[in-house]
A and B are shown apart, each in its own frame.
Chain A
Amino acid sequence: MVKFEQAGLDASFAALSDATRRGVLEQLGRSDASITDLAEKFQMTLAGMMKHVGVLEQAGLVTTEKVGRVRNCKLGARTLEEEAAWLDRHRQLWASRFDALDEVVEQLKRKEKNNGRKK
């Protein structure tokens, strides 16, 4: 079972517990946007939207970059789902590697047994 760092999980769930923030993520899934764009779209003040984006950023779900006087927002490089998928592929890699190791050890055990009989 894949486990996550508890703090990261808590931050993500807190970030996703708010309908506006989920809407912001959906919006950024379609295209990047500035804080001003997002504030207009969700009919909020600039300060209010900055707060929401800050929470999403803390959780690693969104990254922002200041270009001139505009702060651009896009989806974070890493989400929980993404990390889970990666860990799962990593596990599959090690599992097939260790399956092959099991076979090699099985061969060694048989060889040892045969040598033992000869003595």
Chain B
Amino acid sequence: MAARSEIESAPTTNPTTVDRKSERELVVTRTVNGPARLVFEAWSKPELFKQWWVPKSFGLSLLSCEQDVRVGGQYRLVFRHGASEPMAFFGRYLEVVPHSRLSWTNEEGGDGGPITTVTFEEIAGKTRLVLHELYASKQALDAAVASGEKSCIGETFAQLDELLVTLGASA
């Protein structure tokens, strides 16, 4: 009974999903407990945006955040990880529809970076967010996956071994 009340009193966290929808596209979804106009505000005002875009658990500090949220307007985020050189992420807004849709380029890697689009759909006072990351090609998304893997090649082989054992056992 005690365990149950703990669960009831805990803040409700909505599930986040990530799917590779196609060879070039990742889709992230989440429902946020608030109306679309407030969620959009948190996404388009730098003083609010910088409070959540880089959560403390990332181990990154956000040095600066500039956003000019209108079609053609630019954004620029500068981060630092530990004692490393600061990294800048930048691009421009392609679509701005208040309380419903934002789309922007990611140009820090040069031309042909992915395009991110987020839609805000309000349902009964909550907002369903659907975020698409569209890469220029299958190779570009594969490379993003592979670059995220560089640090754990050893793990990969361990996982492959497990997979082979499992499949071998069921064959």
Q: Chain A: residues with CB nearer than 8 A to chain B?
A: 1-5, 16-17, 19, 22, 25-26, 29, 75, 77-83, 85-91, 93-106, 108-109, 112
Contact = CB atoms under 8 A, between A and B. Distances in A.
A78 B142 contact: yes
A109 B30 CA distance: 18
Contact of B159 (A79, A94, A100, A101): A79
Interface string B134-171: 00000000100110110010011101111110011001
Contact of A97 (B55, B145, B160): B55
Contacts of A79: 156, 159-160, 163
Contacts of B167: 16, 22
A95 to B, nearest CB: 4
B69 interface: no
Contacts of A96: 55, 57-58
Contacts of A100: 51-53, 55
Contacts of A82: 145, 149, 156, 159
B164 A3 contact: no
SS class of chain A's interface: helix, strand, loop or mixed? helix
B96 interface: no
B20 A94 contact: no
B34 A106 contact: yes
Interface in B1-52: 11, 13-14, 16-20, 22-23, 26, 28, 30, 32-34, 38-39, 41-42, 48, 51-52
Contact of B32 (A17, A26, A93, A102): A102
B102 interface: no
B115 interface: no
17 contacts: A2-B19, A16-B167, A22-B171, A25-B164, A26-B161, A26-B164, A79-B160, A79-B163, A89-B148, A90-B18, A97-B53, A101-B42, A102-B14, A104-B51, A105-B42, A106-B33, A109-B38
A81 B17 contact: no
Contacts of A105: 32-34, 38-39, 42
A102 B54 CA distance: 13
B149 A104 contact: no
B55 A2 contact: no
Given A94-B28, A102-B32, A5 B20 contact: yes
Contacts of A106: 33-34
Given A95-B16, A98-B32, A101-B32, 8 more contacts: A4-B20, A19-B171, A91-B18, A101-B39, A102-B14, A104-B51, A106-B33, A112-B38
Contacts of A88: 18
